[in-house]
Amino acid sequence: MNENRIHNFNAGPAALPLSVLEEIRDSFLNYKGCGMSVTEISHRSTLFDEIINDAVERTKRLLKLDDKYHVLFLQGGASMQFALIPMNFLADGKSADYVNTGTWSTKAIKEAQIQGKSINVVASSEDKKFSYIPKNIQFNEDAAYVHIASNNTIKGTQWASFPDTKGVPIVADMSSDMMSRPLDVEKFGLIYAGAQKNIGPAGVCMVIIRDDMLKKVPENLPTMMKYTTYASKNSMYNTPPCFAIYVLQLVMKWLEETIGGLDKMEALNLEKGRFLYDFIDSSDYYRATAEPDSRSLMNVTFRLPSEELEKQFILEAGKNGLGGLKGHRSVGGCRASIYNATSLEAVKALTDFMKTFEKENG
């Protein structure tokens, strides 16, 4: 690890691969010899065409997407998608199924309800403070889509496998586990991911949308609220978030060429997750908050014996080069976000510190 850098466990904006940051640094003032920074080149230039097209093609290769899927780059984050999805796909007389697994699902449900759209919350884990992923869900066969959040950053839960919706397209918020594992994309009509957690910097939201979903978009929506606007213009109807797309492109390149694809990325993530959870489970001092079969490989949430000790733990961890371990303000506790760019070395450094802290304060 670079001696001036800490181990970054932030939940988002989060760690980026060091090699990506170094490439940005080395090319920042003079991108590909053009005499301008990548932040200065025109989004209508050949140089930016190469960036955005490469980002699309690498995304398609990594996820094995065929031509019926379109890769889009939008602004407004995942939170904007909460509103756009019902706006685009729930015309009068249509309804959708939502599964509530915590904060981000709750926000998505609220945005549909604000618009007066017909939705059914077909399952929820609120009864146990969102500490698990519901099972054996009965979906409505006539639903326009099924909405899920594949990973809950706040509660530390994740869908280990995706539900059988009997052909109803799944619409998934994958902000915090996008590109962390291979996907059976045929189940999904739309996938969206705010980049700042696992695939890039803040400022861009990746949207992957299938042709049949695009055909459902009504014409009488505001231009910037329609997915068809972005699909027809290669995400460049207006000026896109150019720098964020550039960094995302480099992360896709890192996943493809350095890591070697999503199968290998998943294996690394499994190794990191098992290492940290096994340590927590072996301790009487630390306690994981998510139920074992619903635990996230991206966000490991845990508690110490008291809130005072948690505050001390976070403070001392920072002094020891371990950053971003404070739990979300809505739940407290501690959280280690171990996204793709967070190394096994970082996880081992964390467990070493946890052992020392327990020995000194247990």
How far apart are alpha carbons 17 and 341 in whole angstroms?
Answer: 5
281 catalytic per annotation? no
Instruction: Please state whether beta strands 151-152 and 170-173 pair in parallel, antiparallel, or not at all (unpaired).
Output: unpaired
Beta strands in 81-152 (DSSP E): 95-100, 118-124, 146-149, 151-152
Task: For residue 240, report the phi and psi dihedrals to the nearest 5 degrees.
Answer: -80, 170
Question: Looking at 60, 117, 155, 197, which residue is catalytic?
Answer: 197
Question: Looking at 104, 155, 159, 226, which residue is catalytic?
Answer: 104
173 catalytic per annotation? yes
Which residues are CB-contacts of 263 (< 8 A; sequence separation ≥ 6)? 182
Q: Which of 335, 7, 295, 339 is nearest to 154 (CA)?
A: 335
**288 and 301 Cβ atoms separated by less than 8 Å:** yes
How far apart are alpha carbons 181 and 214 in whole angstroms?
Answer: 26
254 catalytic per annotation? no
Q: How many CB atoms lie within 10 A of CB 329?
A: 7
Task: For residue 252, report the phi and psi dihedrals to the nearest 5 degrees.
Answer: -65, -40
Half-sphere exposure for 362 (CA within 13 Å, toward CB) = 10
Question: Looking at 60, 159, 173, 226, which residue is catalytic?
Answer: 173
CA distances from 75 to 111, 213, 242, 252, 317 (A): 17, 20, 11, 19, 34
The residues carrying an active-site annotation are 104, 173, 197
